[in-house]
A and B are shown apart, each in its own frame.
Chain A
Amino acid sequence: GENVEQHPSTLSVQEGDSAVIKCTYSDSASNYFPWYKQELGKRPQLIIDIRSNVGEKKDQRIAVTLNKTAKHFSLHITETQPEDSAVYFCAAHPGSSNTGKLIFGQGTTLQVKP
């Protein structure tokens, strides 16, 4: 069935360092891969997304890369700041469905130490 594996489950970095979170998906037809950030007690919010016809996308300090052959995608945060501390979720959209259904990874708790 459809599955998204996310690693690591927790990540602690020093302010200014880079952070990388990786996800692997099972459905080779998946075509849309969003990343959501959820601060403590808040709602998930989209921070970046990528579609299957693109290999990389960047937005200021955040970038996402996609390797369709290996069926994995990664979130890269550079020059981390304490306000980047949150839980990050990757997700994949099953490409074969005419729906908006998203399969989420289990989440990565990122802690940025000042």
Chain B
Amino acid sequence: DSGVTQTPKHLITATGQRVTLRCSPRSGDLSVYWYQQSLDQGLQFLIQYYNGEERAKGNILERFSAQQFPDLHSELNLSSLELGDSALYFCASSKTGTEETQYFGPGTRLLVL
């Protein structure tokens, strides 16, 4: 157990819908990262937050948005869902938000039908 929690574990929804994925970082970690892992694909970096502020952006679609709250938990919002958005979404956390170990959560498996 890495100490990073994610909810829900599984999510099944329809095209065009909107969903929210939630992540709580390890105690003491200030930075949260979101990654997308599609079938047979590697880990694609989406976005990073540090202490409530956006720190880095990757290949995140405009239909996706995220935020980190004062209690440091983070939410990833996915809207106007398409079939191709079906994937495993991981959240990770780290202490300082720079080059250091990232601890991954168990992931949320999203299936868009």
A contacts, CB < 8 Å to B: 6, 31-32, 34, 36, 42-46, 49, 51, 89, 91, 93, 95, 97-107
Q: How far is the CA of A36 from the CA of B44 in the complex (A)?
A: 14
Assess the B98–A98 pair: CB atoms within 8 A.
yes
User: Besides A31-B99, A44-B90, A98-B98, 17 other CB < 8 A contacts?
Assistant: A42-B106, A43-B90, A43-B106, A44-B104, A45-B104, A89-B43, A99-B55, A99-B56, A99-B97, A99-B98, A100-B31, A100-B97, A100-B99, A102-B33, A104-B43, A105-B42, A107-B42
Q: Which residue of B lies closest to A51 (CB)?
A: B99
The interface centre, meaning the residue of B41, B94, B96, B101 with most chain A CB atoms within 10 A of its CB, is: B101
Partner of A100, one of B42, B43, B90, B102: B102
Q: How far is the CA of A102 from the CA of B103 in the complex (A)?
A: 13
Q: How far is the CA of A97 from the CA of B106 in the complex (A)?
A: 27
Whether A99 touches B48, Cβ cut-off 8 Å, given contacts A44-B90, A89-B43, is yes
Assess the B101–A44 pair: CB atoms within 8 A.
no
Assess the B48–A100 pair: CB atoms within 8 A.
yes
- The contact string, 1 if C-beta is below 8 Å from chain A, for chain B 84-107, is 000000100010111111111111
Assess the A89–B42 pair: CB atoms within 8 A.
yes
Assess the A106–B101 pair: CB atoms within 8 A.
no
Assess the A43–B42 pair: CB atoms within 8 A.
no
